[in-house]
Amino acid sequence: MSQVADPESTRSRDRILDLLLRSEEALSVQSLARSLNISRNAAHQQVMALEREGLIERDAAIRTKGRPSQGFRLSAAGGATFPRQYALLARQMLEELSRNLGPAELPRAMERIGHSLADSLRANVDGDSDQRLEQIAGLMRGLGYESATIEGAEGTEIEAHNCVFHDLAVADPAICEVDLALLRSLSGKKVDHLRCMARGERSCRFAFRPPLQDE
């Protein structure tokens, strides 16, 4: 039987993260216990749990009148638990790019971004065609696409059930050029965008064909 989270414990956990977020210096278990008005043992248990989850990390020891106390600070993963308006910022950036580049140049800019992303991932892709597509699907999962290879009408395809640019792609289909350039660059093949979530379909699906000899 799964255990129901203790609301008070959850509040203490969230408050520890909030205190560390706002503090310019590392905080000790004792100082966290005082701030939360809980026992040192309760604070220690929360801190150890947060450290195991990678949300906080150890910093330099804090000097006190007695023995130095271990200091803790928020980790990068802990900072990522706080709300961030990436989608809103990305939408504003896309609109600014569109105004300055114009409709003809924007897709080419997105294509360059896709090629640049592919360059950063290329070392993780090798092998024959089917192995390569499996590896590419795995890399896309790491980026949040929820992707996998499937058997299509003419061979192996990649299907993604989450579009990391969905809201942006709905606003401007030029965003899809990032995905297409990424897949073309990593696979070395032509890519057909068979289905697209930005068009209201339930997934994005990509088929791969050999490039023409003169390409």
Domain boundaries, the chain: 7-79, 86-209
Q: Is the pLDDT of residue 204 over 80?
A: yes
Q: Which residue has the higher pLDDT, 8 or 55?
A: 55
Q: Is the pLDDT of residue 215 over 80?
A: no
According to CATH, the topology of domain 86-209 is Muramoyl-pentapeptide Carboxypeptidase; domain 2 (3.30.1380)
Residues ≥6 apart with Cβ < 8 Å to 38: 12
What was the pLDDT predicted at 159? Answer: 96
Token pair in block for residue 199:
């068009």
Mean pLDDT of 28-42: 93
Indicate the pLDDT class of residue 99, thresholds 50, 70 and 90. confident
Architecture of domain 7-79: Orthogonal Bundle (1.10)
Average pLDDT, the chain: 88
- Between CA 72 and CA 26 the distance in angstroms is 5
Alpha helices in the chain (DSSP H): 7-22, 29-36, 40-52, 76-79, 86-101, 105-121, 129-142, 166-171, 176-187
Closest CA to 86 of 195, 3, 166: 166
What was the pLDDT predicted at 6? Answer: 62
Indicate the pLDDT class of residue 41, thresholds 50, 70 and 90. very high
List beta partners, residue 152: 155
- Between CA 82 and CA 121 the distance in angstroms is 28
Length of the chain: 215
For 109, counting Cβ atoms within 10 Å of its Cβ (0-12 exposed, 13-18 middle, 19+ buried), the class is middle
What was the pLDDT predicted at 116? Answer: 95
Cα 121 to chain centroid distance, Å, stands at: 15
Exposure of 151 in the CB half-sphere (CA atoms within 13 A)? 0
What was the pLDDT predicted at 84? Answer: 65
List beta partners, residue 206: 158, 193
pLDDT cut 70: percent of the chain above it: 93
71-95, pLDDT tens digit by residue?
Answer: 999 998 888 888 766 677 788 888 8
- Between CA 56 and CA 137 the distance in angstroms is 31
Q: Please say whether the dihedral angle defined by the alpha carbons of residues 57, 86, 207 and 202, taken in this order, is positive or negative.
A: positive
Q: Do the Cβ atoms of 193 and 201 come closer than 8 Å?
A: no
